[in-house]
Amino acid sequence: MNDAKTLPAALRDWAEREIGGVTEVRDASHPRQDSRVWELVRTDGCRFYLKVSPTARTYERETFALRHAAPALGAGRAPQLRASSAEHLALLTTAVPGRPAKELPLTAAEEYEAHRQGGLLLARLHAAGELTGRRRVEAEGALCAAAHGVDGCLEEAGDRLTAAEHALVRDLAGQLRRVGPLPLGFIHGDAWPRNLLWSGRAAWIDFERSRFAPVVQEFVALACGVWADEPRLRAACLGGYGRELTPEERHVLKCLAGLDAVSALTWGETHDDPHVAARGRRTLHRLTTGVFA
């Protein structure tokens, strides 16, 4: 919780017009400057979340996801959108049962099942939405777009990377431009244990990075994070997902991990987040030593 963020009166008034009187407001923001989320408790005890998106683009993405894709996960498996305000970039959603899997003292069997169900839900999500027209064009061009941004990422990283690491990441990005067709779908975009809720049933929250893309992009955060420490959770997630990644997808995942490593290392050190920086450094080490899989 971040007690420094107070719900503006105009947003409270808007929320109460949509759901009725609110008796409690709790700050539920992440500990970063652009996170603005509040838990609202209605007079009858029902809980809701009010989120102000950091940008118009993330507002549009999350609104689209909650309206057109997340319902495919099933009841209680994702937030339901109650109202949205383009004026305030605000979304009002139902609360989902559970707490983030990474915060719970789960047994090995419970953790495995949470990730298995998480993979099952991602499979449903990837099949949701209508992949036509502009959306298909965007999805087909996503890897080239990611590769196009490598120069800016490396410039920002500067001497945080060795010359050899710079060359490796640039080469991996170049390989993304030569990849053939891959399975496409609607991805969550930020699928990792912080956004995976568990209450005996899995659910996904926080869809602000959702989009149409090659589905392998969904697994970058997991491959650079929890899968590196817990290979059994990779097996659980992909078991629930219903298939293994193809050889082409595994190759692309490695290339994308290089870009993620640079981004994580730079962001973590710039924002004084040693955990994110360490993730980036570890991924670079795995890539340079040939143990990334």
Q: What are the pLDDT digits (tens) for 196-254?
A: 999 999 999 999 999 999 999 999 999 999 999 999 999 999 999 999 999 999 999 99
CATH 3.30.200.20 region(s) of the chain? 9-94
Spatial separation of the C-alpha atoms in residues 255 and 11, rounded to whole Å: 42
Confidence tier at 129 by pLDDT (50, 70, 90): confident
Longest dimension (CA), the chain: 60
Give burial (CB, 10 Å; 0-12/13-18/19+) of 22.
middle
The gap between the terminal CA atoms of the chain, to the nearest Å, is 35
Spatial separation of the C-alpha atoms in residues 107 and 272, rounded to whole Å: 32
- What is the rounded average pLDDT of the residues 161-179? 96
Residue type, 111: E
What pLDDT score was predicted for residue 34?
84
- What is the rounded average pLDDT of the residues 147-156? 94
Spatial separation of the C-alpha atoms in residues 71 and 208, rounded to whole Å: 15
- What is the rounded average pLDDT of the residues 253-279? 95
Confidence tier at 31 by pLDDT (50, 70, 90): confident
- CATH code given to domain 99-288: 3.90.1200.10
What pLDDT score was predicted for residue 264?
96
**pTM exceeding 0.85:** yes
Place of tokens 């640039």: 170
Confidence tier at 4 by pLDDT (50, 70, 90): low
pLDDT score of 18 more than 50: yes
Q: Please determine, looking at this structure, whether the domain spanning 9-94 carries the CATH number 3.30.420.10.
A: no
Q: Please provide the size of the chain in residues.
A: 293
Report which DSSP code applies to 7.
Answer: P
What pLDDT score was predicted for residue 30?
84
Q: Between the CA of residue 121 and those of 115, 197, 241, what are the distances in Å?
A: 10, 12, 7
CATH 3.90.1200.10 region(s) of the chain? 99-288
Sequence-distant (≥ 6) Cβ neighbours of residue 140 within 8 angstroms: 181, 184
Confidence tier at 293 by pLDDT (50, 70, 90): low
- What is the rounded average pLDDT of the residues 128-139? 93
Give counts: helices (H), strands (E), the chain.
12, 10
pLDDT score of 280 more than 50: yes
| pLDDT, tens only, 108-127 | 999 999 999 999 999 999 99
Spatial separation of the C-alpha atoms in residues 93 and 211, rounded to whole Å: 19
- Average pLDDT in the chain: 95
What pLDDT score was predicted for residue 218?
98
pLDDT score of 59 more than 70: yes
What pLDDT score was predicted for residue 2?
43
pLDDT score of 100 more than 90: yes
The residue among 67, 21, 64 whose CA lies nearest residue 45 is: 21
Place of tokens 């996503």: 142
What pLDDT score was predicted for residue 1?
40
